Amino acid sequence: MDTASEGRLTERLRRRLRRTERTYSAGEDRPLRGYAAAMTAFGVYTAGWAAVVRMRGRPLPDRPEPWDVALTAVATFRLSRLLSKASVTSPLRAPFTTFQGPEGPAELHEEARSEGAKGTAGELVTCPFCMSVWVASTLAAGQLLWPRATRTAMGALTALAGADALHLTYSALVAKTTGD
């Protein structure tokens, strides 16, 4: 293929992408390119973990143990919220977000910046559901590479989630009994 043909093909693909973005977004600002980049980054990230696991010769289990699934779920929940909502981790999110105010006990409401890639990254780092995909993948890889250390860390995160539930329950009971 000559350079002119490659240029025409590239331009047709760009036009098609712009048309797809316009028809998909229905007038709303939907950063499809940013989402595609985030999906690509996640694919590269998980492929990297998979390569390390394979290079180390770690066998994959036939199926996950139910206890590991439960532990991973609770640890993923807690770490995702810690990374995406906690006050103490706001410096990690600050380059991609704007502070809006407090949101629940020890959590913040932040908005993603609207500047291209920073906006997409801001959506990722402020969304516990989005963050959980990355966290769960990391914990799964950790269980294959460093099972004892990873399970210890997940146990601590699970204990933290339990403590959070107890704090919230206690606060609700105090509020109910005192009328506050």
Q: What is the pLDDT along the chain (180 residues), one digit of tens a residue?
A: 677 778 888 888 888 887 887 777 777 777 788 888 899 999 999 999 999 999 999 888 899 999 999 999 999 999 999 999 999 999 999 999 999 999 988 899 999 987 777 888 999 999 999 999 999 999 999 999 999 999 999 999 999 999 999 999 999 999 999 987
| Predicted local confidence at residue 1, as pLDDT | 63
| Predicted local confidence at residue 77, as pLDDT | 98
| Predicted local confidence at residue 47, as pLDDT | 96
Name the token pair of 66.
């139910």
3-state secondary structure 135-173: HHHHHHHHHHHCHHHHHHHHHHHHHHHHHHHHHHHHHHH
Question: How many angstroms separate the CA atoms of 82 and 107, rounded?
Answer: 9
| Predicted local confidence at residue 7, as pLDDT | 81
- Any idea how long the chain is? 180
CB neighbour burial string for 22-39, b if at least 16 within 10 angstroms, e if fewer: eeeeeeeeebeebeeebe
Question: How many angstroms separate the CA atoms of 80 and 127, rounded?
Answer: 8
| Predicted local confidence at residue 114, as pLDDT | 77
The model's pTM is 0.83
